[in-house]
A and B are shown apart, each in its own frame.
Chain A
Amino acid sequence: EPEVTQTPSHQVTQMGQEVILRCVPISNHLYFYWYRQILGQKVEFLVSFYNNEISEKSEIFDDQFSVERPDGSNFTLKIRSTKLEDSAMYFCASSGSGNTIYFGEGSWLTVV
């Protein structure tokens, strides 16, 4: 069964450092997303991406965040200058023409 794959599974970074989280969405999907989940809390929407541009973003997705689809398969989330409160599990997701959104296993980011 096709799946969304994410790397790294866990990253520890110093506060103020840049982080790039990588994702390979399901191959024929058109819509790509990043969500995050702070430990013990609900999953929160960050950004959606379609046709090589951001289609919607949440209040969390400020100027420190950016997304990119550098080639035909990867989808990345960059956090420019990490803060302690950025520590969370970041999920990449993708969907095709229907509403079903499939999530990856997540990248656990710890900012110290």
Chain B
Amino acid sequence: QQQVKQSPQSLIVQKGGISIINCAYENTAFDYFPWYQQFPGKGPALLIAIRPDVSEKKEGRFTISFNKSAKQFSLHIMDSQPGDSATYFCAASVNYKLTFGKGTLLTVNP
């Protein structure tokens, strides 16, 4: 019940395209849903986060869509750039404890 399922495992997008990564969870006690970006050899860096009382949050080219009834949330990266190439992890938190998805390796081709 603590799992967060993330898909796809890898994603290849052309420059300027939209990257979409999906996550699903079971535990309704989760109350905070962040997305982290990780470059090779680096720590996860917080990208954007949402709480379950909001259905969408946008920050620049990054948007989280949240569907509480379906227990799903997704990250949309608009106008994807080669510099966005990284591994993206969704996560869900309760009591300050993060449960991560398995990650999506995003490659943006120039």
Contacts and interface: CB of A to CB of B under 8 A. Distances in A.
Interface of A: 4, 31, 33, 35, 41-45, 48, 50, 55-56, 91, 95, 99-106
B101 A42 contact: yes
Contacts, number: 55
A42, A55, A56, A104 — which one has the most chain B CB atoms within 10 A of its CB? A42
B44 A43 contact: yes
Interface of B: 31-32, 34, 36, 41-46, 49, 89, 91, 93, 95-103
Contacts of B45: 103
A66 B19 CA distance: 40
A100 B34 contact: yes
A44 B100 contact: yes
A99 B55 CA distance: 18
A31 B102 contact: no
A103 B91 CA distance: 13
A50 B95 CA distance: 12
The 9 tightest CB contacts between A and B, nearest first, are: A103-B43, A99-B32, A43-B100, A42-B102, A42-B100, A105-B43, A103-B44, A106-B43, A91-B43
Contact of B96 (A35, A42, A101): A101
